[in-house]
Amino acid sequence: MSRKFENRVAIVTGAAAGIGKSTALAFAEQGAAVIVADIDSQAGEAVVEEIRQAGGVAQFIRCDVTIDSDVEAMVALATNEYGRVDFAFNNAGIEIEHSKLADGSENEFDRIMDVNVKGVWRCMKHQIPVMLAQGGGSIVNTASIAGLGAAPKMSIYSASKHAVIGLTKSAAVEYAKKGVRVNAVCPAVIDTDMFRRAAESDPRKAEYAAGMHPVGRLGKPEEIAGAVLYLCSDEAAFTTGVALPLDGGATAV
């Protein structure tokens, strides 16, 4: 089996569940040493154990992306243990709000922005200098199709994901000649534990979510992981500054 990321090092935030977990497992399966970062220590350690049981290499670190010293420590763990950071999947984020713009609160706005926007900014701020020093690397940030257009009743979340795309494109241009590529993935509704919890309270959500995708189903976490690994691979060496929709055709309608 191909292990195209042998002797490479990947950081994945929000890696304890969902898209982050699937991506951490995929990196490890392809031979990368993986830093599994999350605020959920128990679930994060379980992901590390799963990787190790499969013969992979991984370490867990508790990282709250709203705390700069946590992010700095996460990157330092990678460099201290493995000497480099080849790939970073900045995936940590929080759930959307469900209210019209005028009904939102300032606390909600600040919390969503701190995690979804400043969290990504903090990660790149510490990852990019390491990549520059070693001669290159690849960063993928998690945005959303909500960052590509209007998103009624989740305007704050939508604004945060538009901002992630702005950070991604700007950094991509700033560091393009230095060997650091920066891209974003923009998923639609993905079948994760987070979504299932939301659907349990209102079963109509699952039916509606599947119907918004022309393919007629939800996305799978491993499908997002596959896109992330492609964007980090040598096959994508000419790809930077892209916000890639992964949406079952939703943005094509």
Q: Are 71 and 2 in contact (CB under 8 A)?
A: no
Q: In whole angstroms, what is the distance from residue 160 CA to residue 163 CA?
A: 5
Contacts of range 197-202, beta carbons closer than 8 Å, 24 or more positions apart: 198/95
Q: In whole angstroms, what is the distance from residue 166 CA to residue 23 CA?
A: 23
- The closest alpha carbon to 248, from 206, 218, 221, belongs to 218
Burial class (CB in 10 A: 0-12, 13-18, 19+), 7: exposed
Residue of 157, 175, 208, 230 marked catalytic: 157
Q: Are 181 and 239 in contact (CB under 8 A)?
A: yes
Q: Is 208 assigned a catalytic role?
A: no
Cβ partners under 8 Å of residue 119, min gap 6: 13, 65, 66, 71, 90, 92, 93
Determine how β-strand 87-90 pairs with β-strand 9-13: parallel
- The closest alpha carbon to 21, from 8, 4, 9, 34, belongs to 34
Q: Which residues are catalytic?
A: 157
